Amino acid sequence: MQSPIMPTAGDDTGTFDIQDVARMLKISTRSVRRLIDEGAITPPMRVGRLIRWPKRRIIEWIVAGCPAIVATERSGAIHA
């Protein structure tokens, strides 16, 4: 079993994929997709079929207590 990703203050460049976010939140990838659909997680970037979040945005969202995000589209995603 993989351990949760523990981001540090100096490690906020790059992106997380859906499995990274699921491990950090200790939930399934399906639950992460549900959060996206509900607008309850900071919107991901979509590149084709790939779903990614900037590390800084996810870290800030978690530090803020995982507040619900108002979805701007049906899926709540930002398309790149």
Asked if residue 67 belongs to a domain, the reply is yes
The residue segments making up the domain with residue 56 are 15-79
| pLDDT on residue 68 | 87
Split at pLDDT 50, 70, 90, the class of 80 is very low
Question: What is the tens place of the pLDDT at every residue in 14-60?
Answer: 999 999 999 999 999 999 999 999 999 999 999 899 999 999 999 99
Judge whether 55 lies within some domain.
yes
CB 23 within 8 A of CB 30: no
Query: Does residue 42 fall inside a structural domain?
Result: yes
Q: Is residue 63 part of a domain?
A: yes
Structural domains of the chain, count: 1
Q: What is the pTM of this model?
A: 0.72
In a domain, 52, yes or no: yes
Return the pLDDT at 34. Answer: 96
Residue 9, in any domain of the structure = no
Q: Please, is 35 exposed, middle or buried when counting C-beta atoms within 10 Å of its C-beta (0-12, 13-18, 19+)? A: buried
Let me know if residue 3 belongs to a domain: no
Q: Decide if 6 is inside a domain.
A: no
